Chain A
Amino acid sequence: AQSVTQLDSHVSVSEGTPVLLRCNYSSSYSPSLFWYVQHPNKGLQLLLKYTSAATLVKGINGFEAEFKKSETSFHLTKPSAHMSDAAEYFCVVSANTGGFKTIFGAGTRLFVKA
C-alpha cells in the first residue's frame, strides 16, 4: 500500500526567507518521489524527483528535497523565497507494484509576502 501526506495545507513566508514544505510518505515498495508545482490557472510542472540515487535532489528554480528513509519524509526546501514561488505544490509517491501506482498529495499552497 502507498500513501502520501502533505502536512500543511497552507504555508506563508516573507520574500527572501526560507521555504519548507513538508511531505511524508508510506510505501511497501521502493518508491520514487516527486514534487510538482502548479501556478494559478496553469498545469503541473515537475520540480524534482528522487529515484533511489542521491538522497538530496536538486530541482529547478533553486528548490531541493531530501529523501529520508528513516523518517519516511521528502520535504521540499528553498533558501530564499521569491514572489514568483507563490503556487500550489504537490508531493507524489510512485512505485511499481506490479503496475505503477502513483499517488498525489493533497497539495500545499505557498503564499509569499512582500
Chain B
Amino acid sequence: DTAVSQTPKYLVTQMGNDKSIKCEQNLGHDTMYWYKQDSKKFLKIMFSYNNKELIINETVPNRFSPKSPDKAHLNLHINSLELGDSAVYFCASSFLAGEDLTDTQYFGPGTRLTVL
C-alpha cells in the first residue's frame, strides 16, 4: 500500500553513463515532482508535471529529462552522468485540484545516486 514509490533505492554508476529513476504514486494525485537533495540536505525542485504536462522546469542541465507516461508515473532519465550529480533524488506528488486548494506534497523514500 505504498503511496509514492521509487526505484531503485540505491544507484551506483560510473561517470558518463546514462541512468533512469522511476517513480509511481497510487494516491490519485494529478501533480508529480522531482527534487534533488544535496549533501547539506538542501532540497531543490527540478521538475513538476501536472496531468502529464510540464509545469515547472527549474534551471537543470538538459542531461536531465523527465518523462510522464501517465498521471501516476514520473520517471527521470539522466544522460552522461557527472560527479556533481551524486545526491539523493526524491519524487513527490500532490493533488492541486483538491478541496483544500493546497500543494500538500507526499514524498517517496528517495534514490541515492552515487557517481564514481
Interface residues of A (CB under 8 A from B): 32, 34, 36, 38, 41-46, 49, 51, 88, 90, 94, 96, 99-100, 102, 104, 106-107, 109
Contacts and interface: CB of A to CB of B under 8 A. Distances in A.
B110 A46 contact: no
Contacts of A51: 100-102
Interface stretch (B13-21, B39-47, B66-74): B39-47
Given A90-B43, A104-B43, A44 B100 contact: no
A32 B110 contact: no
Interface of B is mostly: loop
B41 A107 contact: yes
Given A106-B42, A107-B41, A94 B103 contact: yes
B104 interface: yes
Contact of A43 (B42, B102, B103, B107): B107
A46 B104 contact: yes
A40 B43 CA distance: 15
A49 B110 CA distance: 22
A106 B43 CA distance: 7
B45 A43 contact: no
B109 interface: yes
Interface string B75-106: 00000000000000010100010001111111
A35 to B, nearest CB: 12
Contacts of B104: 32, 34, 46, 49
A32 B103 contact: yes
A42 B109 contact: yes
Contacts of A99: 55
Contacts of B41: 38, 88, 106-107, 109
Given A32-B103, A34-B104, A94-B103, A43 B110 contact: yes
Contacts of B92: 44
Given A90-B43, A102-B45, A107-B42, A44 B107 contact: yes
A45 B105 contact: no
16 contacts: A32-B102, A36-B107, A42-B109, A44-B43, A44-B107, A46-B104, A49-B102, A51-B100, A51-B101, A51-B102, A96-B101, A102-B45, A104-B45, A106-B41, A107-B42, A109-B41
